């Protein structure tokens, strides 16, 4: 018998929109595209990684103890507090599958990443508009798509509230290494805190799929139970162990990203766009005249940008910050499209 989906799950929840369609567009059209719809590090530090194909002869260790030990050493915690997954989305889905059942509620600070709501509803969660009544609060810091970074002190205040109410704070820090890692809560030991991280954004390897989380060992134990067996392959595991040794070198990336962010913001404002203040490697701006028309014309010019209607933001566009030469191509394409 087929499972009957709850009435709260509308059709579009099953097809949550994301950026990153360059491969698909290239294959469909036979043309090449610059993809500004994704938010990756345009200046990733090199990872000195040599993979021995002999490692493919064995299954991965499904407990990923070696990788967990390396992550735990980075964040001064126990490997029992670490979960790894095939991208941060797999960990989010496993967390929701474990946590949500009938009458368990969640809250999101909208507009934000749509997968929190999608994954929660699919797992049987119920959305509430009052964070005080939630069982789980999802917070993205820096937030996607606005790029707003909350201070560590402010999030610790929210965590204290969650402790008093026995609410789990699910804190997604996918972009914090490209913003200000000093505002991270990844080193906090708290039974009501679940911190999610992504390595593939920081090192600009989205096709590799590797994410991890830190939380209370009891939560981690069950999240790992709901993760697919051997979901992180041997190549990704070995690469992640090497990449963690380059975390400190992301400081240079942040400096370059900030410079490009200031340059792009200045020009977008000169074009007359309403630009949202951002603290990370992407920029959100509005074009009430006709955002969908601009998005379509940019694609004709070989530029992909993020349509933000799936965030509930009509007439908004998000662009990932790329290298200076690529950003010049974007600006030239926007200027041309505004004249059409």
Q: CA–CA separation, 100 vs 47, rounded Å?
A: 38
Question: Is residue 166 domain-shared with residue 315, that is, in the same domain?
Answer: no
Is residue 124's pLDDT more than 70?
A: yes
Question: Is residue 135 domain-shared with residue 242, that is, in the same domain?
Answer: yes
Question: Is residue 144 domain-shared with residue 239, that is, in the same domain?
Answer: yes
Q: Which of 214, 248, 282 is the last residue of a domain?
A: 248
Host H or E run for residue 319: strand 316-320
Q: What does the pLDDT look like over 88-122, one tens digit per residue?
A: 999 999 999 999 988 899 999 999 999 999 999 99
3-state secondary structure of 266: helix
Nearest to 285 by CA among 261, 259, 257, 258: 261
Q: What does the pLDDT look like over 254-302, one tens digit per residue?
A: 999 999 999 999 999 999 999 999 999 999 999 999 999 999 999 999 9
Question: Is residue 100 domain-shared with residue 209, that is, in the same domain?
Answer: yes
Question: Is residue 67 domain-shared with residue 37, that is, in the same domain?
Answer: no
Q: What does the pLDDT look like over 51-68, one tens digit per residue?
A: 999 989 999 999 999 999
Question: Is residue 66 domain-shared with residue 201, that is, in the same domain?
Answer: yes
Question: Is residue 84 domain-shared with residue 106, that is, in the same domain?
Answer: yes
Q: CA–CA separation, 244 vs 250, rounded Å?
A: 11
Q: CA–CA separation, 335 vs 338, rounded Å?
A: 5
**If pLDDT is split at 50, 70 and 90, which confidence band does 249 have?**
very high
DSSP designation for 80: G
Domain with residue 323: its CATH number is: 3.90.1150.10
Question: Is residue 91 domain-shared with residue 208, that is, in the same domain?
Answer: yes
Does 181 map to a domain?
Answer: yes
Q: What does the pLDDT look like over 173-222, one tens digit per residue?
A: 999 999 999 999 999 999 999 999 999 999 999 999 999 999 999 999 99
With contact defined as beta carbons under 8 Å apart, do 33 and 302 qualify?
yes
- Domain residues for the domain of 296 are 11-43+250-338
| pTM (predicted TM-score) | 0.93
Question: Is residue 164 domain-shared with residue 283, that is, in the same domain?
Answer: no
Question: Is residue 120 domain-shared with residue 175, that is, in the same domain?
Answer: yes
Does 273 map to a domain?
Answer: yes
Count how many domains the chain has: 2
Q: Which of 208, 223, 248 is the last residue of a domain?
A: 248
Q: Which of 206, 223, 248 is the last residue of a domain?
A: 248
Nearest to 87 by CA among 18, 178, 190, 184: 18
Question: Is residue 150 domain-shared with residue 219, that is, in the same domain?
Answer: yes
Domain with residue 173: its CATH number is: 3.40.640.10
Question: Is residue 85 domain-shared with residue 116, that is, in the same domain?
Answer: yes
The neighbour count for residue 189, using CB atoms within 10 Å, is 12
């Amino acid at each position: 018998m087929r499972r009957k989906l709850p009435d709260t799950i509308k059709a579009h929840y099953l097809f949550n929109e994301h950026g990153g369609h360059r491969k698909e567009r290239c294959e469909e059209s036979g043309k090449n595209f610059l993809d500004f719809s994704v938010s990756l590090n345009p200046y990733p530090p090199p990872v000195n990684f040599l993979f021995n194909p002999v490692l493919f002869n064995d299954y991965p260790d499904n407990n990923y103890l070696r990788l967990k030990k390396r992550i735990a050493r980075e964040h001064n915690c126990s490997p029992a507090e670490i979960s790894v997954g095939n991208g941060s989305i797999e960990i989010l889905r496993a967390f929701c599958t474990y946590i949500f059942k009938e009458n368990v509620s969640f809250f999101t600070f909208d507009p934000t990443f749509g997968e929190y709501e999608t994954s929660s509803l699919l797992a049987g969660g119920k959305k509430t508009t009052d964070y005080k009544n939630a069982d789980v609060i999802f917070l993205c810091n820096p937030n996607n798509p606005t790029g707003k970074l909350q201070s560590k002190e402010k999030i610790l205040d929210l965590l204290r509230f969650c402790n008093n109410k026995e609410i789990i704070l699910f804190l997604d820090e996918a972009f914090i290494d490209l913003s200000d890692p000093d505002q991270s809560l990844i080193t906090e030991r708290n039974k009501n805190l679940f911190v999610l991280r992504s390595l593939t954004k920081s090192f600009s390897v989205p096709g590799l799929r590797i994410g991890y989380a830190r939380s209370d060992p009891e939560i981690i134990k069950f999240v790992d139970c709901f993760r697919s067996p051997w979901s992180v392959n041997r190549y990704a595991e070995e690469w992640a162990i090497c990449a963690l040794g380059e975390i400190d070198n992301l400081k240079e990336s942040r400096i370059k990203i900030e410079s490009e962010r200031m340059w792009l913001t200045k020009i977008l404002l000169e074009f007359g766009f309403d630009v949202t203040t951002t603290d990370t490697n992407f920029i959100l701006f509005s074009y009430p005249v006709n955002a969908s028309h601009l998005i379509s014309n940019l694609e004709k010019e070989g530029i992909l940008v993020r349509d933000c209607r799936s965030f509930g933001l009509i007439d908004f566009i998000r662009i990932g910050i790329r290298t200076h030469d690529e950003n010049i191509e974007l600006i030239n394409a926007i200027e041309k499209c505004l004249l059409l």
